A = this chain, B = another copy of it.
Amino acid sequence: MGKSYYNIIEVLTGIYKVEDGIVKILLKKKKTNPYEGAWILPGNILSNEETFETVARTTAYDNAGIIANKMWQCHVFSQLNRDPDERIIAAVYSVVSEGPFRLNSDYELKWFRVDKLPKLGYDHEKIIKEIYELLRKKIIHNDDNIIKEFFPDVFTLNEFQGFWEFITEEVYDRRNFRKKLITQNYIKETSEQAKNKTGRPSKLYKFTSDLEEDSLI
């Protein structure tokens, strides 16, 4: 195989959601060799009529039925031996959505906690760990106002605190957490309430529009 300036590129898409404060990622089970039975990130090969973004958008729609409104490039991996068969460059994108999701039943798709991944094919374990670290930083700095994407219009403060504790891997005092979010005008009360399975109903909150980058907690 001689030297060439032509490259094959696949676009892999990490699709995330939050459930009970826990971040989950959508993976697809591989049905053929190599790595039969292992889980992988959904993806497609880039043609010369497409951009990374159009492919990532298509992948998100085809697999999860979502129209991605926030999507970003995480990293492009160019190591020579990512794939045992041939050299493929991987452009990895992330998409966050609060749904609704319609998983494509032609594939075997499943949500996994990002901190409890199954057996993964190729270098996807390394990739997912790396891009989840990027996602965490992005959330902590609220880059691109990403936090909003994880939540529906209204949500309870405890849901939000659970999410924040999952991301930062720290525990916060309920009173202080609420106080800060409210006095600093990140969220505001609505008149609605959530019925819980048990116990007192929760107030529902929404983000204020002046949620700013680099300013949370």
Question: Which residues from chain A sit less than 8 Å from chain B, CB to CB?
Answer: 1, 3-9, 45-49, 51-53, 73, 75-76, 78-80, 87, 89, 91, 137, 140-141, 143, 214
Q: Looking at the assembled complex, report how far the CB atom of A9 sits from the nearest CB atom of chain B, in whole angstroms.
A: 6
Chain B residues lying within 8 Å of A214, measured Cβ to Cβ, are 140
CA gap between A137 and B213 in the complex, in Å? 11
* Chain B residue contacts of A141, Cβ below 8 A: 137, 141
Shortest distance between the CB of A49 and any CB in chain B (Å)? 6
How many copies of this chain sit in the oligomeric assembly? 2
Verify A5–B8 contact, CB threshold 8 A: yes
Complex contacts, A53 vs chain B, CB 8 Å: 78
In contact, B76 and A51 (Cβ under 8 angstroms)? no
Q: What would 29 A/B residue contacts be, using CB atoms closer than 8 Å?
A: A3-B47, A3-B48, A3-B49, A4-B47, A4-B48, A5-B8, A5-B45, A5-B47, A5-B48, A6-B6, A6-B7, A6-B8, A6-B48, A7-B7, A7-B8, A7-B9, A7-B46, A9-B89, A48-B87, A49-B80, A51-B79, A51-B80, A52-B76, A53-B78, A73-B76, A76-B91, A137-B143, A140-B214, A141-B141
Q: How far apart sit A53 and B80, CA to CA, in the bound complex (Å)?
A: 11
Residues of chain B lying within 8 A (CB to CB) of residue A87: 48
12 additional contacts (CB under 8 A) given A3-B48, A51-B79, A137-B141? A5-B45, A6-B7, A7-B9, A7-B46, A7-B48, A9-B89, A46-B78, A51-B78, A51-B80, A52-B78, A73-B76, A78-B91
